[in-house]
Chain A
Amino acid sequence: SAVISQKPSRDICQRGTSLTIQCQVDSQVTMMFWYRQQPGQSLTLIATANQGSEATYESGFVIDKFPISRPNLTFSTLTVSNMSPEDSSIYLCSVGDGNRGSNYGYTFGSGTRLTVV
């Protein structure tokens, strides 16, 4: 399966600032996703990062707050803009391995633990 490197692993940020999270994959993948895991909660899909076009956002998430870039098939960034304490969460990058054979699944990065103060 794909290996994902996600940076930074954690950060403490001031409210009103922005943080950009990077996701680097060791192989070309078609599908890349960004999830949010709020404290003690499950994972919620923020958006699907599309290569060469605008990301597809889920209900409740907007581009102005969570701009996403996907310049190629191995890299994506998620920016959390104008942060407030409610944005304190773990943000995870995920890729679809796309091989619907014997080892199909979605791989996740180790996450970025964001605390907004």
Chain B
Amino acid sequence: GEDVEQSLFLSVREGDSSVINCTYTDSSSTYLYWYKQEPGAGLQLLTYIFSNMDMKQDQRLTVLLNKKDKHLSLRIADTQTGDSAIYFCAETDDYKLSFGAGTTVTVRA
């Protein structure tokens, strides 16, 4: 794995959609992941996408992958207060995960 970059903060109004962006440099990445870390907790795997896919939807979550631009995004529809957390993008080309710095999402009423 190589560098993975994310914006550090996102503030969103409750009920709106959140979009968290991530870029990576390793062109041989095979799996890309989104993890959620709530305060004082470990990491929860939200979703993942294979590098041969360009979109994956799972309930309120939509992952978009632009392999050409090495850009990954996570869209959370109808954002709720329980979605307030740090979201980590991660990639791997073998078994080692490389993580971004994490995006802190704050949901305001």
Q: Which residues of B contact A107 (CB under 8 A)?
A: 45
B23 to chain A, nearest CB (A): 14
- Tell me if B42 and A41 are in contact (CB < 8 A): no
Task: List the B residue with the shortest CB-CB distance to A31.
Answer: B95
Residues of A within 8 A of B (CB): 1, 6, 31, 33, 41-45, 48, 58, 92, 94, 96, 104-111
Give the interface SS of chain A, mostly helix, strand, loop or mixed: strand
Task: List the A residue with the shortest CB-CB distance to B96.
Answer: A45
Interchain Cβ contacts under 8 Å between A and B, 16 examples: A1-B45, A6-B42, A33-B96, A43-B88, A43-B97, A48-B95, A92-B42, A92-B43, A96-B95, A104-B31, A105-B33, A105-B48, A107-B45, A108-B45, A111-B41, A111-B42
B7 to chain A, nearest CB (A): 13
